[in-house]
Structure 1
Amino acid sequence: MRIVASVFLATALVFSPLADAKKSKKNKVQFLTGVVEKCHDGDTCRVKVGGKIAKIRFAGIDCPELSQKHGKQARNFTESVVKGKTVNLECDGKSFDRLTCTVFFEDKNVNLMIVQNGWAYDSTKYSKGRYLASVDEAKSRRAGIWSDTDLMSPYCYRHKTNRKCSLDRSYMP
């Protein structure tokens, strides 16, 4: 009986869409659809995909940490856009135990919406500068976090002892 149960479980995991996404190789894109259950912070949500919960990290952007200034507002914005809604995910890798994805709701790029509304930095190391113009636009409008003149980037918040952060609190690699 144990062997049958193990074979069944292994087969179910191998053929589930979530298992395929977790195995994705660098530069291999996986397309998934799911319902957003909740968001941990502005750039990480739990999405129910094929009966399983996937942790999704919004690719190429970095929102303030939940314990950081503006962190709860960033999370609240993201949840207001996607919580309880069916989203399409274009996943291209992993970050820790999370799939890194561009999230789409009704054909709108949610990653871009978060940046345009001033709740995220462009993480150029991963986005290759895709969101820089939208960050500049949000800054010029003083939207979201950009209404604050005393900011610390999420990267520097996480890496307080980094030499570059000691020179420039807004540093983002």
Structure 2
Amino acid sequence: MWKKILNSPAFLLACVTVFIATVLLSPKTKSLIEAAANFTSPHAMPQSQEWTIASVADGDTITVKRDGETKKIRFCGIDAIEKQQKLGPQAKSYLQSLIDKGDGAVMVIPIEQDKYGRTVAEVFVKPRPGTPGYRSEEEIFLNGEMVRAGFARHIPNSDNCPNELVIEQSQQMAIANRTGVWNDYNVVPP
């Protein structure tokens, strides 16, 4: 008789219902759900802003302009090779080449201000239609691309970067492919 009860669909349904009710009514589950809702809600995500490129300083710093305003942008979550270091000029040139795939505009998602007054941000370029290697609706995530190309390193747990996981994965690809700084163990870290 017990075997029949334990194998019945009604018993299984009752067990699942009790389990779900227990999980959903748990204070810990409620706090996790609230935290997830706060993280993904529109008010928690920074707003993107379209700017025009004024100049490229190095592999992780650009100057942008809009409506008479100029702003220095430092890419969050990464540290690029400095201009005077080995591969430094190539890092700057590579960043410029990524920007040149677009129409001169970048989408900036500001995160915070650094101690030098620069806006720390994630930066994206929308490639021009027909750019080889990109679909028209795709954006180039400059922070991640600089790391993937081996011209910058991921800074773990830095700057509250929303796409930090993408940057971290980009570094793993660069290491696996021995790209840029990962190809020469004598290169001094940025």
Fold shared by both chains (TM-score > 0.5): yes
Residue type at the aligned position of 1:93: E
Measured against aligned partners, the alpha-carbon deviations of 1:121-157 in whole angstroms (never above 9, x if no partner) come to 0011315952222112111112122221212211xxx
Residue type at the aligned position of 1:104: F
Is the contact made by 2:145 and 2:170 (CA closer than 8 Å) also made in structure 1? no
Q: Secondary structure at the match of 1:150?
A: coil
Counterpart of 1:73 (choices 90, 93, 98) is: 90
Is 1:38 aligned with 2:74? no
Alpha-carbon distance in structure 1 between the residues aligned to 2:111 and 2:60: 15
Is the contact made by 1:34 and 1:50 (CA closer than 8 Å) also made in structure 2? no
Corresponding residue number in structure 1 for 2:118: 98
Measured against aligned partners, the alpha-carbon deviations of 1:48-98 in whole angstroms (never above 9, x if no partner) come to 122211100011111011111211111111111115710110001011121
Is 1:110 aligned with 2:142? yes
Residue type at the aligned position of 1:125: N
Is the contact made by 1:41 and 1:65 (CA closer than 8 Å) also made in structure 2? yes
Q: List gaps (5 residues or longer) in structure 2.
A: 1-43, 127-138
Q: Secondary structure at the match of 1:75?
A: helix
Alpha-carbon distance in structure 2 between the residues aligned to 1:151 and 1:30: 37
Counterpart of 1:141 (choices 174, 177, 183) is: 177
Is the contact made by 1:32 and 1:49 (CA closer than 8 Å) also made in structure 2? no
Runs of 4+ in 1 over 3 A off after TM superposition: none
Residue type at the aligned position of 2:177: R
Tell me the matched-pair count.
128
Return the offset for 1:33.
0.9
127-136 vs 93-102, which deviates more? 127-136
Query: Which structure has the bigger radius of gyration?
Result: 2
Return the offset for 1:28.
7.1
Q: Root-mean-square deviation (CA), in Å?
A: 1.9
Is the contact made by 2:62 and 2:72 (CA closer than 8 Å) also made in structure 1? yes
Is the contact made by 2:105 and 2:125 (CA closer than 8 Å) also made in structure 1? yes
Alpha-carbon distance in structure 2 between the residues aligned to 1:93 and 1:28: 12
TM, length-normalised to structure 1: 0.67
Alpha-carbon distance in structure 2 between the residues aligned to 1:125 and 1:67: 26
Alpha-carbon distance in structure 2 between the residues aligned to 1:43 and 1:72: 12
Return the offset for 1:30.
4.2
Q: List gaps (5 residues or longer) in structure 1.
A: 1-26, 155-173
TM, length-normalised to structure 2: 0.62
